[in-house]
Chains A and B, each alone.
Chain A
């Protein structure tokens, strides 16, 4: 069986002044699998995601996505190519309501131009209506369709997290990167996010999961990379990683 590698980084390095946040990271993500990225605070997990999603250009090294080097592409191009992400601290569009938040991601599926807008052509109306239905469909997957007209700030934390994932999924990505989706959640919210993970897995979405909560990682991932001080110190299936001495001494914490 041939495993397709969807994303690969080669010696990916990011320096902020004197601080080396990522140091020569070689990581590959298989299509259809959930890859975990763990490590203590400040080990460079979010920096890694920020580089892949184009928020920071890498200092050196390469990011290959579906065979193409995307190292110096702007964030919007990378998102349009099919890498979606969520943020550690939920970043929704707070003045837009729930359905509009999802619709923002649907722009790349529309071909209308500013002239269509100015003349309010039938093409624009047709596309807006079609994307509206599609956005509703996506909200329904997460049970958010009833909240479609609310503002994000009126939703409970768990639903806001679900909305952020829905918005990322609306890009129909080939790779979905989740940055600590279970951070700061109550027990009930945690169960909800596990359900969402099941939904995503059912849909065969390739995921990169950055997480602290070991319980969550154990349930969700197929393969784990461990970062410490910006370097990969171990990789493998979770059961194996769990027993790895280097990993334990890197003080992963959070073991409940």
Chain B
């Protein structure tokens, strides 16, 4: 009975995702949803980096900027086809991520966050000041949209493309979490010295975590460039980086759904407050921040974690280990915590 309920709820969720463009009230709504999907990709990478591997980054917008500007410059200046430009920009972001990983070998918590803030600021200032290259604060224009045949992508087509990419990213994160890699990350997060004593190469693990999260940020940025058609430095400021952290925290740092729930919520919430509730136009950011604060205070493990806890209670499953999943059905009947 409960298994049927589970199937119904999951199918309903899938159906809503697939049919969303037909429900949305306007093209703008769909556009915001597309932006939400891009934020989900980025926030999922941050959940992996900060929640799993325990490395704080307040400079994710920097990686995102590298992805966005690389793809934009390659397509506008050199006429590189969009898919190849996106692959190149992901590659470049990963390289940047590997460089930022190096200070993390020695620095922790506050000090590491300072390094990542500086990285984000350096990238931001380069965007503003390298005017020949990036167009400075006026920005880059005429970035090509993706095309289907001859006609450019509509928001609906972008939605389906981003939905597929997001689904693949979530699937990948899921597989990584439920494997030895996830276990290594949690081990390093809990106790790096003990992890090394268990023959875990913490440097390699940190390279992997920074590389992966930077790659996802770069992917998100590159797709953003081709969704908007123009780029300015504004969406890559420190404010955005901290907003990404807020997404990961509100969604649930240690939960796979964290990036999804947080990314979706914190993209839509300000829009809802700004456009749909009259009288809040000037105060929506304050309300937004208060809601974020309330979630952090009352649901410290995040909305995503709370949601899945409630759901698994609904279908009578007990939560099992962090990184083992139904291995030979051994973990099903034993309660965690």
Contacts and interface: CB of A to CB of B under 8 A. Distances in A.
B200 to A, nearest CB: 6
Interface in B181-211: 181, 183-184, 186-187, 189-191, 193-203, 208
Interface string A25-55: 0000000000000000000000000000111
Nearest to B205: A76
Contacts of B183: 96, 100, 103-104, 107
B199 A99 contact: no
Given A75-B197, A91-B193, A149-B335, A97 B321 contact: yes
B331 interface: yes
B254 interface: yes
A84 interface: yes
B90 to A, nearest CB: 15
Given A55-B193, A93-B187, A93-B195, A100 B322 contact: yes
Contact of A93 (B186, B208, B320): B186
B337 interface: yes
Contacts of A84: 197
B184 A104 contact: yes
A144 interface: no
Interface stretch (B64-72, B140-148, B171-179): B171-179
B77 interface: no
Contacts of A129: 327-328
Nearest to B330: A132
A170 B199 CA distance: 11
A20 interface: no
Interface string A226-253: 0000000000000000000000000000
A171 B198 contact: yes
A132 B183 CA distance: 13
B190 A96 contact: yes
Interface in A70-107: 74-77, 79-80, 84-85, 87, 91-97, 99-100, 103-107
Nearest to B177: A117
B322 A53 contact: no
A189 interface: no
Interface stretch (A61-69, A108-116, A191-199, A212-220): A108-116
B180 A128 contact: yes
Contacts of B208: 114
A217 to B, nearest CB: 23
Contact of A79 (B196, B322, B328): B196
Nearest to A108: B199
A74 B197 CA distance: 10
A120 interface: yes
Pick the most buried of A54, A97, A106, A108: most chain B CB atoms within 10 A of its CB: A97
B155 interface: no
B175 A104 contact: no
A76 B175 contact: no
Given A91-B191, A110-B180, A114-B181, A97 B198 contact: no
Pick the most buried of A53, A87, A99, A171: most chain B CB atoms within 10 A of its CB: A99
A171 B189 contact: no
B324 A107 contact: no
B130 interface: no
Nearest to A90: B194
Interface in A138-160: 148-149, 151, 154
> Which 9 A-B residue pairings sit nearest by Cβ, starting from the closest?
A149-B334, A75-B196, A79-B199, A80-B199, A91-B194, A93-B190, A105-B198, A76-B201, A117-B179
8 contacts: A76-B202, A95-B189, A96-B187, A100-B324, A104-B200, A108-B199, A117-B176, A128-B180
